[in-house]
Structure 1
Amino acid sequence: MPYPHRKALPPTMPLAIGSYEKLRDLSDASGLLNLAWTQDERQLLDADVMAVVARELTAEVAEELPYAGDYMVKDPYGEGALGPVVADFFGRPGWTASVTCGAGVGPLLHALSLLAAGGTVEVLTDVYPDYPHWVARAGGRTVPFGSGPPGDVLLLERPALADDRFAGLDAVRELAADAARRGALVLVDESNANYCPARFSAANLAGDLPNLIVVRGLSKAYGLGGVRLGYCVASAALTSAVRGAVAPLGASSLSLRIGRRILGLGDVTSGLRDGIARNKPYVRDLLAAAGVPEPVAAADGLPYVLFPRDPQAAVDSLASRGVQGKLQPVWSARTGALVPVGRLSVPLASHRLADLESRLANR
């Protein structure tokens, strides 16, 4: 039955996860090379992260499941479990930044949309549409940076898909200082920053900048999305605001155990970075030579080739060769609208790269 006392929620754009719904498959299959997402990264890491996960799970059983049975009411945001290892990961032991954990980057961004409830978010780079979606559901609005009155939150991705304006920490520091003068927060989605060295991260600035929030996870590069662990790094001054939005006990105790061990390995992505840097320009040239419309290499570090100008034609052209790319929806920082970008994940395993070469040559 209807509930007349409830207001209708505002219409909003779809979430990025919907871009997977129409994919033919989520793995390589007979007659299909799936390059809609990355599947072959872990073999290039400097450590066998799945073996590390297996050892932690074996130890958990041998120790009679202490984490699985621990309802962490005395560490509800996971700072005690993960905070010190996050500080060590960034080479900042004893820093004053706080760490707040949740069930992945997406859920953390969902919670942090409350920081702009009823207010305005200014977007500086193209971003996944999820945060603008949730801001609208919370009664706020999202606009391109500088297109109107100053916003309450400034949002950007690092590294952005194809925008290097904020690749340097000095640019982030300057942005945060300008935002602080008008009372705004800076929210940085660093989902993709695992493809970069730890020194790249804006988390290195969080202890010094009172209005900066950086969100990271274990999905990209590590391939551990199923662990469902993300974390926010922010100044101590922002801890109460962040935790006023993020639900406690969002990250499972067992996920925190695994995440602590993985981050304790330090930076293990140097080999992966080398593989991406080697293969990405080669794949872009292969695609251009095969006549796939206007391939563009994504920003430094990212394992993607993009098709921003005619994304549907590019994805269709790939599909005709048995190669699955995807249409990735992004919220455009230029137009303030949802736009599709064609995306192909660069194959890193030698046999998958050879498969792509063969498929593109046979047309």
Structure 2
Amino acid sequence: MNRVRWAHLALGLAVLLTGCSGFWDKPSGGGGGGGGNASGVFYVLNQTTQQVVGFAFASGSTTPKAVTGGSASLGVIPYAMAIAPGGGFLYVSTGGGIFAYSIASSGALTLLNNSQAISQDLPTSMAVDGTGTWLIESIGGSGILNAIPISASTGILDTARTVQTAQLPNTFLNGIAASPANQGTPYIFVAMGTGGTEILPFTANSTGNPFGTLSNIKVLKSGGGATAIAVDPTNRLLYVGETVAVSGTQTGGLRVFTISSTHIAEVSGSPYATAGAGPSAIVPLTNYVYVANKTVTGAGTTSNITGFPIVSTGGVYSLGAVINTINAGTNTVGLAQENTGTYLLAVNAGGSPDLSTYTYDTTTPGKLVAGATASTGTDPTRPNAIVAVP
């Protein structure tokens, strides 16, 4: 038995841990079955220690603890994670292929598909479409976007359908985002660095290729790149983080677009300065949006997170003034909101710390307040992704 298979069979022996409780602006869920809806549970992908680690906040505690049975030793370098919109399945891309896990209501993970990879692809970015029936993935440098058919009820490969592909116009890959289910016209969006943002209409119930005709949002300025991407929980707005998007010392910007069945239109006031030079992750909520800057000019290794309120006047959307900007760790690469709405979470590839948690100010809506920090394993772990159960 090879190292990858043995490491996955060792899943049940992994780290001990606990439960959770909650708060406010909760993102909406979607399709995708399984145990699902584990309260407050989130997962961190550690590249150096080659493991997935599940966490939650025990009742009455403000410090995240590992979830019993929620961790998996992978045995090879991991690249990316994606979670089904219903919270029932977790997908992990590794040097041995893509593996699927079911998620119990406790947050415990069970390796599926007889401990075999559901695909031999090695994607560096993944997302599950809003219906939970397609795993969208791509390998950085390939320029190919794949849609792998998966079962919303079992989480594994749907053998009645075949893998479908779309050829991207650029080989850079910084992220994939999918529209939520049952929320207007569905799209897949791809951040492609200097190649801008690719827009692909997506018909999930198609018996053939679900990808529609591609179109592109060009970067604002020469030398800039689309480095982070996210979709509003109700499919109202598309968010794109770009470098070299605004003037000044901190040139990172958050571009905001309204989503409709006929076009993607940039809102008045976009781009919005993010208080950093390198947008790296975005968390969209119903009333707020938060963007992490991996790079902040003149701040050494310190990253930060900036929050904005979402404003609607007569059905026309924009972002309001910055709520606050708060320091993160070193090289912040991922953000998530756990599903009780109590905590915003950040992982820092450079450590210092591995995991940062934030609560929300009780008097200033949406304002982030620094909370507990934690190691995500035996340091150095180099966490490179975080996902929360919807």
TM superposition score normalised by structure 2: 0.28
Q: Larger Rg: 1 or 2? A: 1
Structure with more relative contact order (C-alpha pairs < 8 Å, separation 6 or more): 1
- Please, what TM-score do these two structures have when normalized by structure 1? 0.29
Higher helix share: 1
Report which of the two has the higher share of strand: 2
